[in-house]
């Protein structure tokens, strides 16, 4: 049974440390955050790493596409100094390195499959293969993606692990069919654009509703009152402090 906390750290604790790094995961752990959300994609030579963008430029001192760069080059990049001098030398972690830190800190994980174009199935397959060898807590793992092919791959490869269907701002009309087809355990929605009427409709599925990425405590409380189960946040400590005690 999936044990979701009320607040999940987004890309670790992105408001306080460079996103998707070991430093960001540890920062979240130090705040008492129980779960984090991390993005996984593949290097050119197929190594699963924790990274969000297709391009390296925004959060590293490198350039070019992740899909066109081998892991030997990826591991040399600095993924911290763009954020602040104190994070100079932070690296892009492999999926395995990130999971080691999660296990060390007794944390749960929402792993978002974030494939480079054309690698939807491969990314899910490689990531889940690695995960299946090192992760055994079924109650604290959620595999999510915007990509239906990635979720179908997860369904085929690790059917007993919970899956989350991610929606962009516009929720597709056929979402109940998608949720049923993919046998998902959660619906993950954009909490900043979500309307109350949409929330009520989604709740009819009787699945946990997760809202991303909420950094305003008042909005978090409003969503909680609407029936949202978990909230992703860059500032998880702030949201945790301000949430209502019970639904």
Catalytic residue IDs: 10, 52
List, in sequence order, every residue forming a beta bridge with 145; answer none if it has no partner.
165
Distances in Å between the Cα of 208 and the Cα atoms of 2, 25, 161, 187 are 10, 24, 15, 6
Give the pair of three-digit tokens for residue 104.
């060390």
Q: How buried is 206 (Cβ within 10 angstroms: 0-12 exposed, 13-18 middle, 19+ buried)?
A: exposed
CA dist., res. 150 & res. 176, Å (int): 18
List, in sequence order, every residue forming a beta bridge with 49; answer none if it has no partner.
41, 94
Half-sphere exposure of 58 (CA within 13 A, CB side): 9
Contact 110, 144 (CB under 8 A): yes
Q: Is the dihedral of CA 172, 141, 19, 122 positive or negative?
A: negative
Helix H segments across the chain?
22-30, 71-74, 95-104, 120-134, 148-157, 175-182, 196-203, 217-226, 236-242
List, in sequence order, every residue forming a beta bridge with 8; answer none if it has no partner.
35, 232
Distances in Å between the Cα of 38 and the Cα atoms of 107, 194, 200, 204, 243 are 12, 22, 28, 28, 23
Give the pair of three-digit tokens for residue 161.
């692990």
């Amino acid at each position: 049974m999936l044990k979701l906390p009320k607040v999940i750290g987004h890309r670790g604790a992105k408001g306080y440390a460079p996103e998707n790094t070991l430093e960001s995961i540890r920062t979240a752990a130090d705040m008492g955050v129980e779960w984090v959300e991390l993005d996984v994609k593949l290097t050119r030579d197929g190594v699963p790493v924790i990274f969000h963008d297709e391009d390296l430029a925004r959060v590293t001192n490198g350039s070019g596409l992740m899909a066109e760069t081998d892991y030997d080059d990826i591991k040399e990049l600095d993924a911290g100094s763009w954020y602040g001098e104190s994070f100079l030398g932070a690296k892009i972690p492999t999926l395995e390195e990130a999971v080691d830190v999660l296990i060390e800190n007794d944390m749960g994980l929402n792993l978002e499959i974030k494939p480079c174009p054309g690698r939807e199935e491969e990314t899910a397959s490689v990531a889940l293969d690695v995960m299946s060898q090192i992760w055994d807590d079924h109650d604290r793992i959620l595999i999510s993606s915007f990509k239906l092919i990635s979720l179908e791959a997860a369904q085929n490869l690790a059917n007993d692990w919970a899956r989350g269907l991610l929606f962009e701002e516009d929720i597709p009309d056929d979402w109940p069919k998608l949720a049923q087809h993919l046998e998902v355990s959660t619906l993950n929605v954009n909490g900043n654009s979500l309307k109350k009427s949409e929330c009520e409709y989604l709740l009819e599925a009787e699945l946990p509703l997760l809202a991303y990425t909420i950094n305003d405590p008042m909005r978090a409380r409003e969503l909680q009152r609407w029936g949202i189960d978990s909230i992703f946040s860059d500032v998880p400590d702030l949201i945790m402090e301000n949430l209502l005690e019970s639904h």
